[in-house]
Amino acid sequence: MATTIGVNLFITTPSTHRKKILVAGKFKVNSISVQQSTESKQKRFEKQSVTKETTIPKAFDESEIEPVSVKDYLERAKEMIRSDGGPPRWFSPLECGARWDHSPLLLFLPGIDGVGLGLIMNHQRLGKMFDIWCLHIPVMDRTPFEDLVRLVERTVKSESSRSPNRPIYLVGESYGGCLALAVAARNPSADLMLVLVNPATSLSKSQLRPLLPFYPVLEAMPEQLHVGFPYILGLVAGDPFRMMMATIEKGLPLQQAVGELSENFAATLPSLSVVSDIFPRESLPWKLQMLKSAASFANSRIHAIKAETLILASGKDQLLPSLDEAERLYHLLPTCQIRKFNDSGHALLMEGGVDLVTTIKGAGFYRRTRKIDYVSDFMLPTPSEFKQVYDSWYRWVDIALSPVMLSTLDDGKIVRGLAGIPQKGPVVLVGYHMLLGLELGSLFNRFLCEKDILLRGIAHPLLFGKNWERSLLDYSSFDLYRIMGGVPVSPSNFYRLLSQNSHVLLYPGGVREALHRKGEEYKLFWPLQSEFVRMAARFGATIIPFGVIGEDDILDIILDYDDLMKIPYVKSLIEELNDGRVRRLRFLYTPC
């Protein structure tokens, strides 16, 4: 029987404004018995000082990541094309450093510039997750597109034979996106993961289309006309001014922001001439011909692609209609996801506000074996990721409701804060899932800032499904759960979290409680037999039951599941979400 998913529409109740209060008690579980800790008959509330300003736990310090500027990119590109003979070849950036064991191989396929430095802003973080190889195509190289496909194909086959259980990531930018699609089409049985950044498969609809019929005569273009042309085509490699703007810290006073931009521009200006070196007059006809061949080759073979695909599309791409092309490819590719960046230009990966690692993690697109493992493949969130998630989704809850958290010490005293929470795991926090789960942000924030503990939430599998993202207004709506360590509910995942001494957040009532109906405030929907207790006992875990007061009182439900099922369109949508893909879960969740 499928689990039924409904949607609640609500308005705030002006007459009710209650603070959320979370009270936690403790159970110590061993293999013999489960006993509740003794509490004093006269409980006393002991106030403790609480820092109002959110602090970042030391576990998320990323001071080892050195900032990279546009100037660094241009200077590195100048070095690479200075003595640029020989055939296309692979190189590994030195700044990638140490990485995880069994990290997958990442092959970066550059745009029409061919330099291979398109990931320079992400090298340090990506280097912890991947074995990075970047393809460099010399400026004056004349290797046909089909031969480049064979070059990448040979590398894929060679590395696949060396590590058959390890996926290979093809990250293709613009022209490189066509190259990645071509390789995937010719190798449908290979375990490939495609990341396409503004792919040039939409060349026929691009701003370069008027130039394509005239590429044979570009070599004979007078020198006077050629001077500015490389800078126009330089949009393919990146817009330096936009890239400099992206590196300016947000929230700075106007005068300071203008000052930093001026300094960056003055430092970068001497290096801008490298753009004309990347696109010399002699190579322009060949590069345009290659771009045309790549788009045609890839489009003619899209039907043969079986690899998982993640498309990153810019909303302000002045060269290609990337958003429209992402939607087109979404319908053509069998397993495809889209992440939109509405304020970014064509050189998406070169803009400081775009983090490829965060995007891959949020999309659930990182794995080191044949199947994704949300437990062992998880990487701790960085300070910027934590701040982005908290500011975007949960800060308003803390501001509006001012939640107060209380915990129970070993001697039975109830104190303000989380002093009663054990620092060492394994720990299982078991509670009632309030309306829409609005308490999640407060829990994660306080545990991170007060205890330096990241809760690993056991979540409904629907939050990790990729095939139904199309029905969401924002494809990235559930990325925050993956970034913050959410794990699909299953006995094996729960077992492995406990074996890692994790602090696990568990709601036995699941989505049925979070989307409860009218008149069901504070009502439990727990299974008669909670199997998690048996497994927790096996690891000697501490079980901490907790409750939340006030959240169900601040909202009134206008339409619940029963009301929505009377609306034909909404009923069909709910039935589509519950067509059998989400099966009944007997372990931790009760069916709706």
pLDDT of residue 262: 58
The confidence score (pLDDT) of residue 527 equals: 81
d(CA 582, CA 520): 24
Written as six digits, the tokens of 360 are 């891959």
Neighbour-count burial for 85-118, b at 16+ CB within 10 Å, e otherwise: eeebeeeebeebeeeeeebbbbbbbbbbbbbbbb
CA distance 293 to 287: 10
Cα separation, 125 vs 109, in Å, equals 18
How far apart are alpha carbons 247 and 382 in whole angstroms?
18
Q: According to the model, what pLDDT value does residue 167 have?
A: 97
Rounded to an integer, what distance in angstroms lies between the CA atom of residue 30 and that of residue 293?
A: 66
DSSP symbols for 275-312: HHHHS-GGGHHHHHHHHHHHHHHHHTTGGG--SEEEEE
Residue 74 in contact with residue 240, Cβ under 8 Å? yes
Q: Which pLDDT does position 254 carry in this prediction?
A: 55
Can you tell me whether residue 369 is helix, strand or coil? coil
Domain extents in the chain: 18-35+388-577, 103-223+286-362
pLDDT at 368: 94
Tens-place pLDDT, residues 161-173: 999 999 999 999 9
Q: Alpha-carbon Rg of the chain, whole angstroms?
A: 27
Q: Does domain 103-223+286-362 have CATH number 3.40.50.1820?
A: yes
Crossing angle of helices 254-268 and 70-82, rounded to 10°: 10
Please report, in tens digits, the pLDDT of each residue of the chain (592 residues total). Answer: 332 223 222 323 333 444 444 555 555 443 333 333 333 333 433 444 333 444 443 445 454 677 787 778 888 888 888 766 789 999 999 887 777 888 999 999 999 889 999 999 899 999 999 999 999 999 888 999 999 999 999 999 999 999 999 999 999 999 999 999 999 999 999 999 999 999 999 988 887 666 555 555 555 555 554 555 555 555 444 555 555 555 555 555 555 555 555 555 555 555 556 676 777 777 777 888 899 999 999 999 999 999 999 999 999 888 899 999 999 999 999 999 999 999 888 888 888 778 999 999 999 999 999 999 999 999 888 888 888 888 887 788 788 778 888 888 888 898 988 999 999 989 999 988 877 777 888 888 889 888 889 999 998 887 887 766 666 667 778 888 899 999 999 999 999 999 999 999 999 888 888 787 888 787 888 887 778 888 999 999 999 998 888 777 777 777 777 887 888 887 887 777 666 444 333 333 333 3
Closest listed residue to residue 241, CA positions, set 92, 323, 379, 350:
350
What does the chain come to in residues? 592
Q: Which pLDDT does position 44 carry in this prediction? A: 38
The Cα–Cα gap between 208 and 205 comes to 8
Residues contacting residue 557 through CB under 8 Å, at least 6 positions apart: 8, 9, 10, 435, 517, 518
In whole angstroms, what is the distance from residue 439 CA to residue 551 CA? 8
Which of 478, 205, 242, 483 shows the shortest CA–CA distance to 350?
A: 242
One-letter amino acid identity for 176?
G
Contact 175, 156 (CB under 8 A): no
CB-count burial class (<10 Å; 0-12, 13-18, 19+) for 289 = middle
Distances (CA, A) of 233 to 69, 76, 278, 368: 21, 19, 10, 37
**Contact assessment for residue 550 and residue 20, using Cβ atoms and an 8 Å cutoff:** yes
